[in-house]
Amino acid sequence: MLRRCALFAAAVLAGGLHWGSFQAPGSPLLMQRPSPPASEDILDKIVRYGGSLEEILDQQEKLRQAERTLGPDSVDLVHYLGRLADLYEQRGLIADAMPLRRRSLVLWEKLNAKETYQGSLSTLAGLCIKLGDLERAEGYYRQIVSLVEKQTNGGKDDDPSALTIALEGLAGHLTLEKKFNEAEQLYKRVIEIEMKARAYGPESQLTLVSMSKLAGFYFAQGNYAQAEEMYRKVQEVARRKYPKPSASMWIVPNFGITDLYMKQGRYAEVEEIYRNSLRGSSFIPYAKLATVLVLQGKQDEAEEFRKTALERWADQVELGQSLVVNTLSDLAQAYRSQGNNARAEEIYRFVMAAWDEKGLWPATYGRLRIREQLTTLLRAQGREADAAAVELNDAQIYWRKWMVVCDRTYAAGQYDNASRHALEGIREGVRGFGADHLNVADGLDRYAELLRKRNRPAAAAEAQARAKLIRSKLATH
């Protein structure tokens, strides 16, 4: 089950071209190189690359040397290209990574490395989606499906999961492109394959998950009757086959249909489902029940469940942040919709404080989402100063965390790691405080000291000079 979910998550990132449609090695497209602005000084580079600055610069030089030695079309370049592309992607530099990945794909095809080639297609697809090139992404999806069709004998193997994952990936992408008819047929084909497969069958958990995905597809298209019919089929099997379901199996038959009912304003039915689902230690059904009670104007009754949800979540802070954003923030939004901004603000601040206490980095996905919702709420009330204070506090927390880690690794003699931490701190300092801030100058001084420890005097002098420039600007003001 876990392997299937992991494979599905990877496949959802797939996207666009056919096997024979790539440009020849050495063509202008494939030979593109990332070219940062010529005016970049050390601070520009730090903001661009963060803690990966030295690795990226070193890897760029290694690739240039390998190209000079081996030639630009050598298959031996594939690992140099991949390593540099990985570094770019880690920093969110998708446009820089794309030409490297395309060159790698051509080389993997030359090497006849089929599995790696297929993985490269999926990686390229994800990059295309992030860049908004949906048409090309669709082509990648189709190519992956074509390759896997052959590998799995059209889904007739005992374990057809590779094909069903590829089909679901294409279906999801076609939905994104609003090509609904073909997407629906692909979702149905997945269910048909799984029902016939020896490893699954019509009542397996994976088949129920796929049926829920088809129901979700109908829901997203506004076909509520079809969505409800499919969700009820899933519920019927799940309750009979799995009378004591795991948390994941509780989510499958209930979350989809409750979302559907919520969309239709059928709050009483949602309330009944959640009241019958208060089991185990999970905070989720309590938060969901509190949410639907608030939306019905039953705020006093919701209090007990709100408190229980927050208490239980406080013991499970490490749970996935997306889950938190989709439950506790929904509860806060429900209070907002009823005009209870104070309670919504309380929930946002409670979640942020709990994450801070556990040492969660402020720049993580869930933390950023919750902060954004809090500052939006504050600004909607004309509380600009309070919103700015929240953002400044996060910047200070993040900068301070990186500097503390830098000091610890420096004290342990781990100068390479300390340098990476200093770079991250400087980058966040620029983002949070601005380039000409004393904290940024302090970070540059620390980085310069580390560079000297690592016998890199020229780079140290550049960092020191930038710190001195910042201090001179501050002195004149």
Say which DSSP state 434 is in.
-
- pLDDT, residue 175, reads 94
- In angstroms, the Cα distances linking 62 to 55, 70, 195, 254 are 10, 12, 51, 53
3-state secondary structure of 206: helix
Q: Top-level CATH class of 1-201? A: mainly alpha
Dist CA 390 CA 442 (whole Å): 23
Q: Are 73 and 89 in contact (CB under 8 A)?
A: no
List of residues 6+ apart from 401 with CB closer than 8 A: 359, 361, 362
- pLDDT, residue 27, reads 31
Dist CA 216 CA 145 (whole Å): 22
Task: Name the token pair of 344.
Answer: 């919504």
Q: Are 423 and 43 in contact (CB under 8 A)?
A: no
Residue 361: φ, ψ to 5°: -65, 130
- pLDDT, residue 158, reads 72
CATH code for 396-476?
A: 1.25.40
Q: How far apart are the first and last CA of the chain?
A: 61
Q: Are 164 and 194 in contact (CB under 8 A)?
A: yes
Which burial class, exposed, middle or buried, applies to 90 when counting CB atoms under 10 A from its CB (0-12, 13-18, 19+)?
A: middle
Over the stretch 134-184, which tens digit does the pLDDT of each residue have?
999 999 999 999 999 988 887 777 778 889 999 999 999 999 999 999 999
- pLDDT, residue 245, reads 52
Architecture of the 282-382 domain? Alpha Horseshoe (1.25)
Dmax over CA atoms of the chain, in Å, equals 77
Closest CA to 100 of 132, 69, 62: 62
- pLDDT, residue 362, reads 59
- List where CATH 1.25.40.10 sits in the chain: 1-201
- In angstroms, the Cα distances linking 426 to 4, 360, 409, 444, 473 are 40, 19, 16, 7, 17
3-state secondary structure of 35: coil
pTM comes to: 0.76
- In angstroms, the Cα distances linking 326 to 159, 194, 333, 408 are 33, 29, 10, 36
- pLDDT, residue 217, reads 94
Task: Name the token pair of 304.
Answer: 């007990």
Dist CA 344 CA 330 (whole Å): 10
What are the residue ranges of helices labelled H in 264-414?
Answer: 267-275, 284-295, 299-314, 321-325, 328-337, 341-357, 365-380, 384-411
All residue ranges of the chain with pLDDT < 70 are 1-39, 243-255, 317-321, 360-363
- pLDDT, residue 157, reads 72
Over the stretch 200-227, which tens digit does the pLDDT of each residue have?
888 888 898 899 999 999 998 999 999 9
